[in-house]
Structure 1
Amino acid sequence: MWAGPMARARNKLTARQAAALTKPGRHSDGGGLYLVIDGEGAAMRRRWLYLFPWSGKRREMGLGGFPAVSLADARKARDDAEHVAREGRDPIAARDQSREVPASKPTFGEVADALIAAKEGEWRNSKHREQWKMTLLKYAAPLRTRPVDEIDTAAVLDVLKPLWTAKPETASRLRGRIEAVLDAAKAQGQRSGENPAAWRGHLSHLLPKRQKLSRGHHAAMAYADMPAFMASLRGRDAMAALALEFCILTATRSGETLGAQWCEIDTEKKVWTVPAKRMKAAREHRIPLSDRALAIVKTLEEGKAGDFVFPGRKATRPLSNMAMEMMLRRMKVEDITVHGFRSAFRDWAGNETHFPREIAEAALAHVVGDKAEQAYRRSDALEKRRALMAAWASHCEPKTGGNILKFERSSGNPAA
């Protein structure tokens, strides 16, 4: 605590005298203010020092160098510090506190980018990252430059309303991602209070309830047309054509095929093992390769130059996500999707074969049954599925004279 004023004369020095002083040591101006000179000649350093009693001890408080800090400025700083001490506050602590610049809150964009970087490890493919990045960059653009603690309900609604009816699925995903960003900010102490992007009990009262999506089926080819389609496909000399045929024969998703790597394929055992990180269900999936699927692999193996079975223009990267869809467009197959071939496979297996349902579902990497049933079904029935995939390849094999294409859209159940 302040121990009372020192009974000393004040303002002993003049500005000229202070400027003329060169002798090392402390030169008193009175009232606890000193001009301290250290060193001599070119190494000489002059600075102001305020000495004051605090809690029974003498404290030293630097007030800056001379002549950058003039005699008048040093006296004012001394007087201000003395005033603070008389109020019972430590002048040094008070000054340090006043110098602290409150850390500015990060912007919504900064928190969003940090969240995307943090979540990358839990996403199984780059598609999720690009979707998050795109929505939070494009659609949430008005929020990105605003401090994250200033985002309120009105700001969220301004972003969501233009999309809510025009692009309901996009708007719903965007709302969830905005909510996640604001939750992350709250968890880090960067904002407080309720989340203005929360749906239940909040935005549900301010936005119309979104219509339940009628997802429809992926446009699928009638399985009876597969032999003729395969004949036409094999006439295409392109990596995308081989990738599409392999994708159909293995009944896999396009991303699984395009991301296939040589280290995943055992040509001796005729098995392709897709690691869990690349599967939708996050479970390793073994796929028995039919003779035709294996022939495609061995053909490509002869000229492999990188890790990917189906490389793009650069061997270090796979084919584009759109490569197989574009192949369909070039073949004038307008109302069919790559994913729809999984539907064709499932329809064929259910309508034309006697393989059990769970075998067909396992071939599609679908999770069948409740957790108890899954626990008992430890095997992935690889050999039973081998027979199924061989039969599917046989069905898809081009028939003599099967080059005339007449495509129909399947009405069967979709395969996700």
Structure 2
Amino acid sequence: MARAIHKLSARGSEALTAVGRHSDGGGLYLSISANGGRRWVFYYKWQGKQREMGLGSAREITLKRARDLAADARKSISQGIDPLAKKAADAKAVELEAKAKPVPSFGEAADRLIESIEGEFRNKKHRDQWKMTLGDTYCASIRHTPTNELTTEDILGVLSPIWRPKQETASRIRGRIERVWDAAKARDPDKSRWTVNPALWRGNLEHVLGKRTKLQRGHHAAMPWREVPAFFQKARGFESSSQLALAFLISCASRSGEIIGAIWSEFDLAKKIWTIPAGRMKAGREHSVPLSDTALSILAEMAKIAPGDADRHSAFVFPGAKKGRPLSTMALTMRMRALNAGHFTAHGFRSSFRDWCGDATHFPRELAEHALAHIIGNAAEQAYRRSDALEKRREMMNAWAQFLTTEPH
């Protein structure tokens, strides 16, 4: 008489808690250990000896799947094949097949990594920066090379031309290349094909490229703070979207992207506060900007230039030439050039503001850093995120506005 099979039910097997083996028939058992472990096991005799083959954790393998695996094992026995030997052979075949696959090119590995870490990016701009820096703009010479064949010389070919003029960018690219290489190696079952990461800094590139300078502002050239009022008043005196955007950027000490992406719903004009959502901030954290009367007057002028936009919460405060689109960052650069200040950058006005705070005022350093939405030390950060911090920053921004609007001597 054939042995009964399928003795257990799905719900019943899940309810079992007694330590020991619980038979489903046909050699299949649910094994429960003293520490609560639950696994499926197939017992059979091979050449007169009792053998045991694990089928996997009961938390991952369903009863139905365990029965299918047990049925495959019984079929192998009927064909004169040892199920354990077949399992080992199948695993070896899968391993050899994986090892036979070519290592992806650096470009393929980079694209795959960017896709896999999608959740780490603060916003679309952050993701686009990764794609650009690991794309043809900087890495064209290595994108078609198998990742495991990259050499230190290959990495130097990417970094050396930009290490001095663009150290911040070069440093980020180096770190990203290192991460792409590590990720590609982690995915490869054949680690013997890999040596040492050629983009490593310590003990490797540090001996060739040399140390970075502590701060490099060459690509964010800042106007001396004493010259800013005259420039601000010149920018303030012309009613165009791009020029008023530049004046607003200076008055709020904000980043270009924060300005050109601003929409009317972010502003509470009655409370004189501009709240920038976390998704638009570099640090990924919501930031409130207290608005001076000078900044409010610029917003009032923009409402006159585009009167319909001020009533539409989702409309851009500084609209571009195309309907429904904001200004481009290049628009601010072009306006700087038109005002004979093309050797400075719009972003540099943040440094001008910071220097003014340090050289001409008694406002605490931490307050200025918080106004710039910089992440500061834990204790100081907590102090300047209290409810009264906004009013302290309001006092500072009002003083900045007064400085900007005072006639130069």
Identify whether the pair has TM-score above 0.5, normalized to the shorter chain. yes
Could you tell me which residue of structure 1 aligns to residue 400 of structure 2? 392
Equivalent position SS for 2:201: coil
Q: For residue 381 of structure 2, what is the aligned residue in structure 1?
A: 374
Matching residue within 309, 320, 334 for 1:326: 334
Structure 2 matches for 1:160-175, cutoff 5 A? 160=159, 169-175=168-174
The residue that corresponds to 2:48 in the other structure is none
SS of structure 2 residue aligned to 1:394: helix
After superposition, the Cα gap between the structure-2 partners of 1:233 and 1:155, relative to the gap in structure 1 and judged at 3 Å, is: closer
Amino acid at match of 2:297: A
Which residue does 1:362 correspond to in 2? 370
Structure 1 unaligned spans of 5+: 1-53, 60-87, 407-416
Q: Do structure 1's residue 111 and structure 2's residue 142 form an aligned pair?
A: no
**Aligned partners of 2:397, 2:164: CA distance in 1, in Å?**
43
State whether structure 2 residue 285 is matched by structure 1 residue 280: no
- For residues 65-92 of structure 1, give each alpha carbon's deviation from its aligned partner in whole angstroms, at most 9, with x where no partner exists: xxxxxxxxxxxxxxxxxxxxxxx99xxx
Cα shift at 1:272:
0.4
Which residue pairs with 1:303 in the alignment? 308
Q: For residue 285 of structure 1, report the CA deviation from its aligned partner.
A: 1.6
Q: Describe the shift of the 1:284–1:104 C-alpha distance in structure 2 as closer, same or farther (beyond 3 A).
A: same
The structure whose Rg is larger is 1
- Note the C-alpha offset of 1:333: 1.8
In structure 2, distance between residues paired with 1:244 and 1:191: 55
Matched to 1:177, the amino acid is R
Q: What is aligned with 1:253?
A: 255
1:110 aligned partner, one-letter code: E
**Structure 2 counterparts to residues 171-320 of structure 1, below 5 A:** 171-189=170-188, 192=191, 193=194, 194-204=196-206, 207-212=208-213, 215-216=216-217, 218-301=220-303, 302-304=307-309, 306-320=314-328
Letter in 2 for 1:310: F
Alignment check: 8 A CA contact 1:149 1:191 kept: no
Cα distance between partner residues in 2 of 1:256 and 1:110: 33
**What is the rounded CA distance, in whole Å, between the counterparts of 1:169 and 1:348 in structure 2?**
24
Residue 384 of structure 1 deviates from its aligned partner by 2.3
Note the alpha carbon deviations across 1:136-178, whole angstroms, 9 max, x for none. 2223223222333443445445544565567655544332221
- 1:191–1:388 Cα change, 3 Å: farther
Q: What root-mean-square deviation, in Å, do the aligned CA atoms of Structure 1 and Structure 2 show?
A: 3.9
Letter in 2 for 1:146: T
Return the structure number with greater relative CO, CA threshold 8 A, min gap 6.
1
Aligned residues: 317
Whichever residue aligns with residue 148 of structure 1, its letter is T
Contact 2:232 2:404 in 1 (8 A): yes
Classify 1:356/1:240 alpha carbon distance in 2 versus 1 (closer, same or farther; 3 Å).
same
Q: Give the stretch that moved more between structures: 256-265 or 122-131.
A: 122-131
Q: CA deviation at 1:182?
A: 0.8
| CA separation of 1:148 and 1:262: change in aligned 2, threshold 3 A | same
Structure 1 residue 270 displacement after superposition = 1.4
Shift in Å, 1:126: 4.3
Q: Is the 8 A contact 1:253 1:339 kept in 2?
A: yes
Structure 1 residues 190, 129: CA separation in 2 closer, same or farther (over 3 Å shift)?
A: farther
Shift of 1:239: 1.0
Residue of structure 2 equivalent to 1:146: 145
Q: By how many angstroms is 1:273 displaced?
A: 0.9
Distance (whole Å) between structure 2 residues aligned to residue 312 and residue 105 of structure 1: 46
370-379 vs 323-332, which moves further: 370-379
Aligned: 1:131 with 2:132 = no
Quote how far apart the aligned CAs of 1:180 are: 1.1
| Contact 2:292–2:397 (Cα < 8 Å) also in 1 | yes
- Secondary structure at the residue paired with 1:133? helix
Letter in 2 for 1:209: G
What is the percent sequence identity of the aligned residues?
A: 49
Secondary structure (helix, strand or coil) at the match of 1:286 reads strand
Q: Secondary structure at the match of 2:114?
A: helix
User: How many Å separate the matches in 2 of 1:214 and 1:163?
Assistant: 15
Task: State how far apart, in whole Å, the 2-side matches of 1:345 and 1:161 are.
Answer: 33
Q: Distance in 2 between matches of 1:187 and 1:307?
A: 46
Is the Cα contact below 8 Å between 2:366 and 2:384 reproduced in 1? no
- Tell me if structure 2 keeps the 8 A contact 1:106–1:190: no
Q: In the alignment, is the contact (CA less than 8 A) between 2:262 and 2:317 conserved in 1? A: yes
Q: Which has the higher helix share?
A: 2
**Matches of 1:289 and 1:212 in 2, distance apart?**
35
- 1:256–1:278 Cα contact (<8 Å) kept: yes
Q: What CA deviation, in whole Å up to 9, does each residue of 1:225-280 have, x standing for no partner?
A: 44432332133232111111111111212222122222321122111011233333
Code of the aligned partner of 1:196: P
Contact map agreement 2:333 2:342 (CA 8 A) in 1: no
Question: Aligned AA for 1:239?
Answer: S
CA distance in 1, matches of 2:228, 2:162: 39
Task: Work out the CA distance in 2 between the residues paired with 1:376 and 1:239.
Answer: 37
Does the CA-based 8 Å contact 1:220-1:343 persist in structure 2?
yes
Q: Distance in 2 between matches of 1:307 and 1:140?
A: 38
Judge conservation of contact 1:148–1:190 (CA < 8 Å) in 2.
no
Contact in 2 for aligned 1:230/1:398 (Cα 8 Å): no
Change in Cα spacing, 1:167 to 1:393, as seen in structure 2 (3 Å) is closer
For residues 328 and 362 of structure 1, what CA distance do their matches in structure 2 show? 26
1-side partners of 2:236 and 2:223: how far apart?
A: 17
> In structure 1, what residue type is equivalent to 2:216?
R
